[in-house]
Copies of this chain bind each other. A is one copy, B any other.
Amino acid sequence: MAQKLFEQIALIGIGLIGSSLARAFRRDSPATTIVACARRPETLSVVRRLALADAITNDPAEAAEGADLVVIATPLSAYAKIGRRIRPMLKRGAIVTDVGSVKEAVIQDLQPHLPAGVHFVPGHPVAGTEHSGPESGFAELFRDRWCILTPPPGAAPEPVAEVRRMWERFGMRVVTMSPVHHDKVVAMTSHLPHLIAYTIVGTATSLEESLKSEVIRFSASGFRDFTRIAASDPVMWRDIFLNNRDAVLEILQRFSEDLTALQRAIRWQEGDKLQDLFTRTRATRRSIIEARQA
């Protein structure tokens, strides 16, 4: 049996990521005590039915009491309130981490609430599916995916190493970077793609009825991939865009300029420009396959 990862953990928020984490602990560190916290009674009853935790509660403070590791895995808009609630209950030496897709805003929301002697290790396991809720989770979600940690300057090394060890145990490749840099990278790799997918599916949904039904019927040729992405959790994604506003707007501006240039090339029948771009993007795909992400 591999070494126990933590004595007791609190999972605050137990959707796709939180419940996958619970499953991974059950599999790889079964002696760890798991306390799960969710706001909605229905969520807690699923957690109970699936036996994902040793104790359940709807109170973040109760969950955090006595925990060696507190993992916040709720939509980003809940962070500040959770910080205020758990503050008095955090034990000295506890580690607080999270799984949020935005880091700078989140650190600003949470850090002021954490007392001295509590270690804060913001994290982002870059993993997910378009499904949400505790029933959608699975322990293998993290396998071979990246996890980005953004420890604040001067963070104690040992708590960072403990969080790293946890994600590595669950199969992730862990890197550290600054919160600002993280937010720019994911604005491009994840937030802009989701924004575009939501938009294009929205555009299709607004079509005249005669066209719309056929768009759904013939969706196989490109559009369907977008609908998968655009099925992701609405509240989670609302919070991501609100909290990573500046990086998203900056990259969206670049995208809009590029799209306008392409639109102009189509209008003026500039075939060479189109072909050049399409040849370059093919090469980018190849780089990604070579980077073993495909």
Contacts and interface: CB of A to CB of B under 8 A. Distances in A.
B249 A267 contact: yes
Nearest to A220: B293
A54 interface: no
A275 interface: yes
Contact of A255 (B199, B224, B251): B199
B284 A201 contact: yes
Contact of A145 (B220, B277, B278): B220
Contacts of A228: 225, 285, 294
A170 interface: no
Interface residues of A, number: 91
Contacts of A218: 126, 146, 148, 185-186, 189-190
Interface of A: 77, 126-128, 130, 145-146, 148, 181, 184-186, 188-207, 211, 214-232, 234-235, 237-239, 241-242, 245, 248-249, 251-252, 254-256, 258-259, 262-263, 266-267, 269, 271, 274-275, 277-282, 284-288, 291, 293-294
